[in-house]
Amino acid sequence: EPEVTQTPSHQVTQMGQEVILHCVPISNHLYFYWYRQILGQKVEFLVSFYNNEISEKSEIFDDQFSVERPDGSNFTLKIRSTKLEDSAMYFCASTTSGEASPLHFGNGTRLTVT
Amino acid sequence: GESVGLHLPTLSVQEGDNSIINCAYSNSASDYFIWYKQESGKGPQFIIDIRSNMDKRQGQRVTVLLNKTVKHLSLQIAATQPGDSAVYFCAETPSGSARQLTFGSGTQLTVLP
């Protein structure tokens, strides 16, 4: 069964550094998402992406965050200057359509900011 | 001191018994609901979904019930197995939202041998 692939599985970075998290969505999917889950808390929406542009973003997704689909298969999340509170699991997800189709999630990247 | 993180509701069932996991949602505009299973160290895994024009949907060993009147969703797992042990989340989204899911706080299901 096709799956969403995320790399790396664990990223450690120092506060103030830039990080890029990588995702390869399922190949025939058109809608892409980033969510995050701080340890012990709910999964939270960050951003949705369709047709090479952001569709929606949450309050968490401030100017420090950006997303990009640099080619036909990758979907990246960049955090420009990491803060301690950015430490979390970051999940990429994709779906075939924007209506009534389930999101399929990757296994996440654990980001630790020290 | 301030509590950090969620205290997940827990449900323990004997292997072979049926499990019922409940979820209350708050957004009356939500029209699509999904149950996810999350095992330790993994991402949410899709189990079953239901649209607001239905009140019941069945899958393999799982059934989702939707009560829009009281904004309540439940997941029933038949003949629970050890591999079902995980955290279960309901998620909701209103129409036209490009599928911005709002997740519930989750229930930890433990299957006892």
Contacts of B30 in chain A (CB under 8 A): none
Residues from chain B contacting residue A58 (CB–CB below 8 Å): 100
Nearest to A40 among B5, B41, B99 (CB): B5
φ and ψ of A28, to 5 deg? -95, 10
**pLDDT-derived band at B73, boundaries 50, 70, 90:** very high
> Among all residues of chain B, which has the CA nearest to that of A39?
B5
Interface contacts A/B by beta carbons within 8 Å:
67
Tell whether the model's pLDDT for residue B8 goes beyond 90. no
Mean pLDDT of chain A: 93
* pLDDT of A61: 96
Lowest mean pLDDT among A61-65, A96-100, A101-105: A96-100
Closest residue in B to A107 (Cα–Cα): B43
* Two structure tokens written together for B19: 């499990």
Find all residues with CB under 8 Å of A96, minimum gap 6, and list them: A28, A29, A30, A31
CA distance B6 to B54: 31
Burial class (CB in 10 A: 0-12, 13-18, 19+), A32: buried
Q: Which residue type, as a one-letter code, is found at position B14?
A: Q
Section B48-61 average pLDDT: 94
